[in-house]
Amino acid sequence: MDAEEQSLLAEALRGTMTETAAGTALDAALGDLGWADLLAEEPAVAVRLVFSLLGETGAHAPVLNDVVLAATGQPLGGTVALPYAGGRVVVWERKDAGSAPDEGGLLDGTLPLRVLGAGDDAEAAAVVTDPAALAAGRRALGWWLVGTGRAMLALARTHALDRVQFGRPIAGFQAVRHRLAETFVALEGAEAALAAAEDELASLLGKAAAGQAALDAARHCQQVLGGIGFTAEHALHRHIRRALVLDGLFGNTRELTREAGAHIRRLGRAPRIAHL
Amino acid sequence: MTATDLVPAGFTPPVDAETVSVEDYRAAVQRWLDEHAAELAKPAEHSLEAEVAQLGKVRRALFDAGWMRYGWPVAAGGLGGPDVLRAVLNEEIAERDLTDGTNFSIVEVLAPTMVSYARPELAAEMLPLLLSGREQWCQGFSEPGSGSDLASLSTRATRRDDGSWVVNGQKVWTSLAQYAQRCVLLTRTAPGHAGITAFFVDMDSPGITVRPLRTMHGIDEFCEVFFDDVVIPADRMLGNEGDGWRLAMDLLPYERSTCFWHRITYLFTRLDMLLAEAAKQETEPEAATDAAIGAAYLALHTVRCRSRDTQRRLAAGAHLGPETSVDKILLSTADQKLFDTAREVLPGTIELTDAHWRTEYLYSRAATIYGGTAEIQRNIVARRMLDLGKE
Ligand SMILES: Cc1cc2nc3c(=O)[nH]c(=O)nc-3n(C[C@H](O)[C@H](O)[C@H](O)COP(=O)(O)OP(=O)(O)OC[C@H]3O[C@@H](n4cnc5c(N)ncnc54)[C@H](O)[C@@H]3O)c2cc1C
């Protein structure tokens, strides 16, 4: 798919994601847009566009399941038990959760996540362990996290230019500028790492870089937004909740970073992955 | 001298510059470096003199075999071919640890801009001297009063009646000036950004005094350079009067592509060394060790991916600009993180026992200062990439 086709597709996806209710309705709308064929034919483009736009628009749909199913050659449309930080297992249901982020007993109550517990041993035993499926899931989550980070940066940037203190926009203060620059650099680095993520190790690193970038974005953007960013009314907290929850799926930044370290220590060498 | 005289009669290039693929070029370089491993090996002695001599030896051998000429214009004594061939050579040199961590790629900072701004005859005369290791060049930009605010520089050049120029002033932090035969020098010829003019100066010109400075890491690589009524012929101007600022900005794309690729590769070899040393330790590593090693690896991998993208854009004809400040921030952060990790994972080594790790650790402290400080890079990102307006 050439660059022009990709940007047309991105616009169509963005439109759908902003106009359709998140969750099952968006799941169906993505289906109508040809999600299944796209994932089969152009998996890298499909995953990058769909997931980074879910992040940027703040929408959600249970399509992470499809990425995992496709990677293991199974039909799309179902659910899979997904690994979560701390050795937990969750299911991303294909049904709707609450509409407020603080509903439902989870950090991001808008997501239809079911945490498997004591009685769910059989279901939890089927948790994804296939390396190719883990890698595919991590790439998708990485793009989602980067998109979420971009959404936070856009909110903080606008606020910095609009908000006047001491007689000038706070965007004029170097401490504010450097926080936003830091966020931008982390997101750009994560994108480069994700674009180079083909094998398992590179996908793990890509998700770790994206998780780190999203967490950095949350910290810096929250600070730049001051009191308004702490209100339920402002959109920031939705993205922060989303980033924290996504970070935990398929291993959080801390776990993945440690795993990468242990891996290269056993190997005795640091693999060079991107080549000229 | 014509372009073809620049390559000796009877010299057959090892590969065809215009058609060779990156993979074939790399394989050919690797074969040649393997065959010549013994004669190119780094000396055990770790002084700056030994390092500079090694630099000359490696460049000379690579030049004579042709490798050092790829990616440079035929008109200036190169063999032609894309810039990426130079990055591959830099990578292979760094992977084999043949020279120290930065100096091999100084060529990449100074030569591309010199070649594009100098008169063609001057470029053809001088570039082979640098590439072949016969000469070192230095970069005379910073001054005691002008560091981050480079455009405030005050080393004055005044035109004489015969058209030549007289230079008075002082440069500082000039790396390798004590070994350099030439200097790419920025001077003031009029007020403002448009009043900066660049010259290509012979370091043995009367009136130049070089005083090496002691550095923190013990390798006294930089100097103060004084100019007292130094006469520079008119034909040593780089570009035209007032082009100096543009020249300084045009330097960045090369510094931030090929040269960064060299440093990134070099840092990967240091991470490998750290892994080897960690394996020798008696106690089982803690989870914290893996976390620290993983974080250093993640940072290095990230800047490698970013730098690869930047070089692809350059190869596709893109004009590189302020977005390379992202590369610079990622690299200087990864550089320091790696050596911080070495200090954590090998407790006591840097402080008590190992001079190599100590030197490299200390040198990494400068990564957020040279080439534009960490703060200046963030200012550029804020202003140019995020469009936040003025401070
Ligand atoms: C190892 C090494 C090698 C070098 N080699 C060369 C060389 O070969 N040739 C050459 O010309 N130069 C060389 N330099 C000089 C280097 O480019 C300068 O040190 C650098 O540009 C910073 O200038 P300065 O040291 O005067 O610091 P200053 O500009 O005085 O900065 C001091 C501190 O103030 C901060 N600061 C300054 N302005 C701002 C601002 N607007 N906003 C926020 N913070 C600010 C800086 O970030 C820094 O933290 C070298 C330096 C080192 C360390």
pLDDT at B384: 97
- The pLDDT value given to residue B276: 96
Q: Which residue has the tokens 């030049």?
A: B63
% pLDDT > 90, chain B: 87
CA dihedral of residues B57, B61, B66, B69 (deg, nearest 10): 0
- pLDDT class of B38 with cuts at 50, 70, 90: very high
Q: Is residue B267 domain-shared with residue B379, that is, in the same domain?
A: yes
Q: At residue A170, does pLDDT exceed 50? A: yes
Residue B337's pLDDT band, with cuts at 50, 70 and 90, is very high
Chain B CB contacts of A174 below 8 Å: 379, 391
Positive or negative CA dihedral for B310, B314, B316, B319? Answer: positive
Q: Each residue of A83-139: pLDDT tens digit? A: 999 999 999 999 999 878 887 789 999 999 999 998 999 999 999 999 999 999 999
**B108 in a domain, yes or no?**
yes
Predicted pLDDT of residue A61: 98
pLDDT of residue B1 exceeding 50: no
**B3 has a pLDDT exceeding 50:** no
- Across the range A61-86, mean pLDDT stands at 97
**Phi, psi of B183, rounded to the nearest 5 degrees:** -140, 135
Q: Is A160 on the interface with B (CB under 8 A)?
A: yes
Percent composition of chain A: helix, strand, coil (DSSP 3-state, to 5): 65, 5, 30
- Give the pair of three-digit tokens for residue A206: 């890509």
pLDDT at position B46 is 80
* Domain assignment present for B39: yes
Q: Among B255, B323, B351, B391, which one carries the catalytic annotation?
A: B255
Q: Both B372 and B275 in a single domain?
A: yes
DSSP per residue over A62-122, as a string? TTHHHHHHHHTTPPSSS--EEEEGGGEEEEE-SS---SSTT-TTSSSTTS-EEE--GGGHH
Determine contact, residues B129/B181, Cβ cutoff 8 Å. Answer: yes
* ipTM for the predicted complex: 0.97
**Ligand 1: centre distance to CA B148 (Å):** 5
Residues B293, B186 share a domain? no
As a whole number, the mean pLDDT across chain B is: 95
CA of A169 to the centre of ligand 1 (A): 28
| Pair A189, A248: CB distance under 8 Å | no
**Two tokens, residue B196:** 């900066």
For B232-291, how does the pLDDT look when each residue is reduced to its tens digit (9 = 90+)? Answer: 999 999 999 999 999 999 988 788 889 999 999 999 999 999 999 999 987 877 888 999
Question: Is the CB of B174 inside a 6 Å radius of any atom of ligand 1?
Answer: yes
Same domain flag for B161 and B275: no
Question: What CATH number does domain A131-267 carry, 3.20.20.70, 1.20.140.10, 2.60.40.10, 3.40.50.1100?
Answer: 1.20.140.10
The range of the structural domain enclosing residue B352 comes to 256-385
Mutate to test the interface with B, among A194, A264, A273 (most CBs of B within 10 A): A264
pTM of the model: 0.97
Do B298 and A260 lie within an 8 Å CB cutoff? yes
Atom number of ligand 1 nearest to Cα B374: 47
* Residue from the list B294, B375, B379 with its beta carbon closest to the beta carbon of A259: B294
Query: Of B135, B163, B185, which residue is a domain's last?
Result: B135
Give the lowest-confidence range in A149-158, A220-229, B10-19: B10-19
Task: For chain B, state the CA radius of gyration.
Answer: 21
